[in-house]
Every structure is written in C-alpha cells, then in structure tokens.
Amino acid sequence: MAEENVTFHLPDLGEGLVEATVLDWEAAVGDDVARNDPLVEVETTKSAVVIPSPHEGRVVELHAAPDEVVRVGAPLVTFAVAAPDRPAAGIVGTVPEEEKRPRRRVRLTPPGE
Amino acid sequence: MTELIEHTTGTATGPTVELSMQQALNRALRTLLAEDGDTLVLGEDVGALGGVFRVTDGLQKEFGADRVFDTPLAESAIMGMSVGLAMNGWRPVPELQFDGFAYPAVDQIVNQVARMNYRTRGAVPMPITLRLPSFGGIQAPEHHGESLEALFAHTPGLKVAVPSDPGEAYRLLLQSVRCDDPVVFMEPKARYWDRRPVELSEPADPIGTSRVVRPGRHGTLIAWGAMVHRCLQVAELAAEDGVDLEVLDLRWLTPLDTDGLAASVRRTKRAVVVHEAPLTAGLGAEVATRVTDACFGDLAAPVQRVTGFDVPYPAGPLEPQYLPSVDRVLLAVQRTLEY
C-alpha cells in the first residue's frame, strides 16, 4: 500500500499555552506506532503530559530533541501513514464505494407469455 | 491525471481512452476552450485550484487567467456576470460548486438567463452552460446534495442535460456549450469517479434524444444521472429471475424525448421511472404522463415511480435510506408484472 507523510504539530495543551518542553520521546524514528500509543512527554507551564499518537504509522522524523522548547503550532513529529486506496473526494463528501453485486430481498415473477 | 490522446474534430469515431467522468468533462472543456476563443470558464475556485471536483484542473494554466477565472463566493453574481458576458458575445461556462448552493442564483437563471431570448425576440441569445454538480450519493453534508431537475425543467427557455457516464459527459458537454440556448448541465456527483473507456467522438445524437443503455422485453426502467447505474444493477438482478428489463437513459430532461420513451414502452408494455428527487411534482410525473398519453393502449400496468421521499434532501448519513434502492425498484417492477 502506498504511504504518505503526515506531520503532527504541537497543539495547545491547555488554555492559551504558547510552548512546551520535550521531556522524553516514547517512540523513536523507525518505530511503528498505533493510534493513541504514548508518543512524547512534554512539560508546559501548567503540567507534564504525555501526548498520545494521533496516527497509526511509522515515525519518520522527530522535530525536537529532549529539553528542547517547541512553540505551539510548530512541527513535532512526522509519520508515514498508509495512503487511502480510493481517490480522495476533494473538499466535501466521500467517493462512493462500488457494490459489485448489490444485496436484494425482492424476487420477481416473470410475466406469463 | 491520465495522459490523454489528442482529440481530433470532425470524425465520427475518435480515439478511445480510459477516463473518469471528471477527466472526460475536463477533456471536453479543453476541447471547447481550444476551438472557440469566446468560451470562458468561471466560478468559485475553478482557476488555480482546478475546481472542487477537479473538473477544471489545469485549464487556467493552459488557457490563461483571462479565460478561466475565479469568482467571488457569490452564486447570484456568477450567473449575473455570465448574463453580461453572453450579452457581449462571450460563451460563458459558469460552475456553481454544489447544487444546494444554486438557490441564490435561481433569480438570475429564471429571470434573466431563461427569458432573455424571449424578451429580445431572439436578438440576444444566452449561450450559457451552467455546470452544476448535482444529486447525492457522496455522503456530503446538508446543502451539498439536491435534486433540482424539476425546477429547471419547469422553467421555459432552459435546456437541461444530465450525463450518466464518462463518454456521455464528454459528448453532452460539447453539445451543450456549442448550443446557443442556455443549458443547465447537471453532473451526477456520485459518478464523478466512475472510470471506463471513453470514445472521444463528436456528438452524434441530436439534443433532446434519449438512449437505450440496455435493451429488454418485459419493461422499461427510465432514469437519468446516477440512477441509470442503479437501474442497470436492477436489470442485472431481474435477469436472474427471468425478467428482461430495458434501461432508458433520458439524458435530456428538456427537451424531453417523448418519441424515444414511447418507442421503448410500446415494445415492453411496462414502465418504471426512477429519480432521486421527491415524488410529489417530480419529473417522474411528467414522464409518466407522456408515456401514458403516448402508449395508453399498449400499457400492461400504470407507470410506476420510484423516487426519493417527500422530505428535504437528507444529509450524508441518511442518503442510503433516502435514495431509491434496488429493492424499491424491484418492488415497483413486480407491481407492473402483477397488474
């Protein structure tokens, strides 16, 4: 399956926080992670929190080393994730899936000829 | 995008390439922009972005920002601008991103576009083709799916075309844009990604003709747009039961092909109209009346209608419950067989 890179940016972990310090990475480059696996522990001015992985995929790049300060909105980690097989619909909607043989319940009686 | 073979004009049969409906429409627009310097493409995000459904992809780059251009997010203004351009000799091909957003433009469409030819006794034609991504089937949010064909078909002065596959989309769009009358060109969103071999040929059938997609003996399923595909599925299932159904793609809703409908139903003696729009005052009623008028003595059963329900067109998650299912169409066929 084709892969595409997705970069996760540091979110605002509190109310109006502007930055966080990386304490410890719980995943390394090359690791396969599942969605919600512990990813990185960061410390803000309020508390230390563990950010879970937002994606299932392989870690491609860590954008900050431990003790480094990351601004909210700055790249934190890049994943290689599986690209969807079906084409993307664009901005709105989904590409309809083609039923090879639609399910039916109604049977017909041919007309007498 | 797929590499396309160059289109050659003036031949009855053209080269065949595999294209999605999006790509076939894109190819038709390229042909039209290249052959007539007065043809313009305008709409929200049709330029740099290439359209919300990618149909105008690459056209601005190829033909320049004077001929393929973005407009403000204002549907009424897009149509009003098209009226002014048409009055001054241009051939505009506006796009409204979704049929649900066409309502603000209805004033311009009904009061200006459709009337100008009458008002000026033919001195100021409106060679406008409104490309309108239409109908449901892509699970879009509210206001992104509608079925407005009856509204436009009921407006004298407009032609209404609905392609059902990529080849039809290519030829019908060529025909619509070259026609000096205004055409509402309703593109079935659910079929945009449908890929199949397309013969890049010139349109051979006149405006206002239907086509038989599948011949059959025991009844005619009449549809347009994505419902043609649904009817083909039904015909396959019916064949398993020994019932041989014809599928007729109406493709032009105005002018309506009464002769084509009558020719089919006279042979099959049964007719079922299928559309996405609500039942009441839908185009199915018009079709049923014409068929009944033309074939009263031949009909084995009253013409049946299988449609959306008389509720607002639902948002995505409820579409499967709203749209005519194979079972609902099969039940209607069974009613005509038992009558």
Query: Mean pLDDT over residues A10-15, rounded?
Result: 86
pLDDT beneath 70: ranges in chain B: 1-14
Residue A106 lies in a domain: no
Burial class (CB in 10 A: 0-12, 13-18, 19+), B132: buried
**CATH number reported for the structural domain that contains residue A73 in this entry:** 2.40.50.100
Shortest CA gap A3–chain B (Å): 19
- Which of helix, strand or coil describes residue A92? coil
Best to test chain A binding among B52, B96, B187 (most A CBs inside 10 Å): B52
B82-116 confidence digits (pLDDT tens): 999 999 999 999 999 999 999 999 999 999 999 99
Query: Does the active-site annotation cover B144?
Result: yes
Best to test chain B binding among A86, A106, A107, A109 (most B CBs inside 10 Å): A106
Domain that holds residue A26: 3-82
- Candidates B7, B144, B218, B275; catalytic one: B144
Q: How many distinct structural domains can be found in chain A?
A: 1
- The sign of the CA dihedral B112, B118, B119, B124 is positive
For chain B, domains (ranges, CATH) are 16-199 (3.40.50.970), 211-338 (3.40.50.920)
Residue A59 lies in a domain: yes
Q: What is the ipTM of this complex?
A: 0.80
Residue A89 lies in a domain: no
**Percentage of chain B exceeding pLDDT 70:** 96
Contact, B323 vs B317, CB < 8 A? no
Indicate yes or no: CB of A106 within 8 angstroms of CB of B334: yes
A102 contacts in chain B (CB < 8 Å): 233, 237, 326
Q: What is the pLDDT of residue B12?
A: 46
Closest residue on chain A to B317 (Cα): A93
Residue A109 lies in a domain: no
E strands within B224-333? 245-249, 252-254, 271-278, 304-308
Q: Rounded to 5 degrees, what angle do the CA atoms B12, B35, B41 make?
A: 120
Residue A88 lies in a domain: no
Q: What is the pLDDT of residue B13?
A: 57
**Percentage of chain B exceeding pLDDT 90:** 91
How far is Cα B313 from Cα B311, in angstroms, rounded to an integer? 6
pLDDT level of residue A92 (50, 70, 90 thresholds): confident
Residue A25 lies in a domain: yes
How far is Cα B70 from Cα B54, in angstroms, rounded to an integer? 14
A20-78 confidence digits (pLDDT tens): 999 999 999 999 999 999 999 999 988 899 999 999 999 999 999 999 999 999 999 99
Residue A100 lies in a domain: no
Residue A108 lies in a domain: no
B37-51 confidence digits (pLDDT tens): 999 999 999 999 999
Q: What is the pLDDT of residue B157?
A: 97
